Structure 1
């Protein structure tokens, strides 16, 4: 099966051509800078001791104009067909994932400093980028035009994000005490949330009705229709919270890493404290909802991860990992769960059985993976590390090798 998969990749990615319909849709499409197919290693077997090593193709994406530059941020389109990334510069590269061709390089009348954050519109092929030049730009991906320029930030951009309904864009700058909300069509600044200290993170609920911002040891919930403060979420210990909003947008889970750690689930509608879980083990910093909201996942300092029923708090599964995980990701359909144990191969599990499917090599052992994410097809896994290219793995290939 190794040979079959390799032949399929070679057929798809070694003989790429650009035809007239491609140019009609993507005037900037080019073979230069296309993603390349390369060999990676995967370990597959019922146990670590019985695992066999296979070669498995993966796609690697770099900025071909300077391959030494690291990927600072990436985003995928809602349909999973496009991947955008920036590599320690002010250009943004956009690839078509069906064949890895570079369809656009966004730079004309664009940013004057390094790009730090990217977010695709959930409803079309527009993209918002944030930069160290203190601006956010909304782009038309197909022709490369700047549609809007969002200005007036007090520092380099830290995060930009479309609301799930696509009508709003939120922005936040480094060391900033503000989160701005913009009309995604007109570029009008609709509201500025002001805080008395720096905000480290923000997120918008799936129904686009709530914004949650982290300030010190607390999370603040706001109504995105009225801009009113709904609730302040805080644990009994003065420690930084780690948190995640449910995919349905109705609840938020927060954890503290204290000894012992604590897990709380709150209503995103009212801020009501719905459930408290006191785990027997010290927690790490990862927490996530299962895609259907039925479970939550927390990682532990003792190199394990536990899932709990999000309504009752009862433990469901324990995943034994080779080291403490620094990244976790569920596939959107809930079938797969990926961990990146510190400085170890990426691990992919079947969520129904909690069985380990494979260990994927992601580069040199000393490389730290900064981010992992499944695309909307639930089959493609993207990894971004502090060394090397942006890498894409296909979980279907793992299953075919088993």
Structure 2
């Protein structure tokens, strides 16, 4: 188990069974922690900072490598990491998740790369781009562009169904759109969430068909919160 502490700029690892603190890792005071993650096999630990991702050995707590990362995702197989960068001409990079070695650089050519993720089988990388309001899908091994999608809005959340048949784009205010994961064909959509509603989180449940959205409704504080469930096969709210 891992937890970051904003007070002393550290990340601490804990034994999930006993609650004992195993290690405390110091973080540069000028770098905030965005996310913490373990590799699927538990051998590596990742600290996502604002513009980089640090890789550590879980057993020895040894720092292995830092990779450039504005946004990032790990393949479900746990073998690779994909990141977007702001400091390199190649805006999308794929790295070895164990060693931090750069495996592939994709010169996407856009100045505003957004979200990035792997397809469930690891064969493709999906990238959103605010600059031209497109979603590009690349071969994750060669960098070849396979498909370009043009959703109505650049999404706040992107997710594949576990079987890879669908890819779901969720906008904070304007609704949900679903496309074929392999074909790129438009499947359907939900238009908006109601007046002043905002989506704060989105998740596909393990059945691969049910989309869970967390909404807030009302003024700036968004105190009126709701959870909605949608079936992506027919995009009808079921609760």
Deviations 1:28-67 (A, max 9, x none): xxxxxxxxxxxxxxxxxxxxxxxxxxxxxxxxxxxxxxxx
For the residue of structure 1 that corresponds to 2:66, the secondary structure is: strand
Partners of 1:193 and 1:367 lie apart in 2 by 39
2:71 corresponds in structure 1 to 242
| Structure 1 residue ranges without an equivalent (≥5) | 1-168, 235-239
1:391 corresponds in structure 2 to 228
User: Is the counterpart of residue 193 in structure 1 residue 30 in structure 2?
Assistant: no
Change (3 A) 1:371 1:194: same
Partners of 1:257 and 1:358 lie apart in 2 by 33
Deviations 1:264-321 (A, max 9, x none): 1111111111110011333332111111111111101122101111100001111101
User: Is the counterpart of residue 255 in structure 1 residue 89 in structure 2?
Assistant: no
Deviations 1:207-240 (A, max 9, x none): 2211111234221100112111111113xxxxx6
Partners of 1:371 and 1:334 lie apart in 2 by 21
The number of residue pairs the alignment matches comes to 226
Partners of 1:231 and 1:309 lie apart in 2 by 25
Change (3 A) 1:282 1:269: same
Partners of 1:229 and 1:368 lie apart in 2 by 39
For the residue of structure 2 that corresponds to 1:368, the secondary structure is: strand
1:300 corresponds in structure 2 to 129
Give runs of aligned pairs for residues 111-130 of structure 1, distance below 5 A: none
Give runs of aligned pairs for residues 172-321 of structure 1, distance below 5 A: 172-174=4-6, 177-197=9-29, 198-234=32-68, 241-256=70-85, 262-301=91-130, 302-321=132-151
Contact 1:344–1:365, Cα closer than 8 Å, also in 2? no
Contact 1:357–1:398, Cα closer than 8 Å, also in 2? no
Contact 2:211–2:231, Cα closer than 8 Å, also in 1? yes
Deviations 1:133-178 (A, max 9, x none): xxxxxxxxxxxxxxxxxxxxxxxxxxxxxxxxxxxx2122446622
Give runs of aligned pairs for residues 133-172 of structure 1, distance below 5 A: 169-172=1-4
Partners of 1:261 and 1:313 lie apart in 2 by 11
Deviations 1:177-198 (A, max 9, x none): 2222222111111122221223
Deviations 1:58-97 (A, max 9, x none): xxxxxxxxxxxxxxxxxxxxxxxxxxxxxxxxxxxxxxxx
Structure possessing the higher radius of gyration over alpha carbons: 1
Q: Which has the higher helix share?
A: 1
| Structure 2 residue ranges without an equivalent (≥5) | 218-224
1:237 corresponds in structure 2 to none
Q: Which has the higher strand share?
A: 2
User: Is the counterpart of residue 346 in structure 1 residue 183 in structure 2?
Assistant: no
Partners of 1:330 and 1:175 lie apart in 2 by 36
Contact 1:324–1:342, Cα closer than 8 Å, also in 2? no
Structure-1-length-normalised TM-score: 0.52
Q: What's the offset of the Cα at 1:330?
A: 1.1
Give runs of aligned pairs for residues 1-20 of structure 1, distance below 5 A: none
Partners of 2:140 and 2:112 lie apart in 1 by 17
Give runs of aligned pairs for residues 299-378 of structure 1, distance below 5 A: 299-301=128-130, 302-341=132-171, 343-364=173-194, 366-378=196-208
Structure-2-length-normalised TM-score: 0.86
Higher RCO (CA < 8 A, seq sep 6+): 1
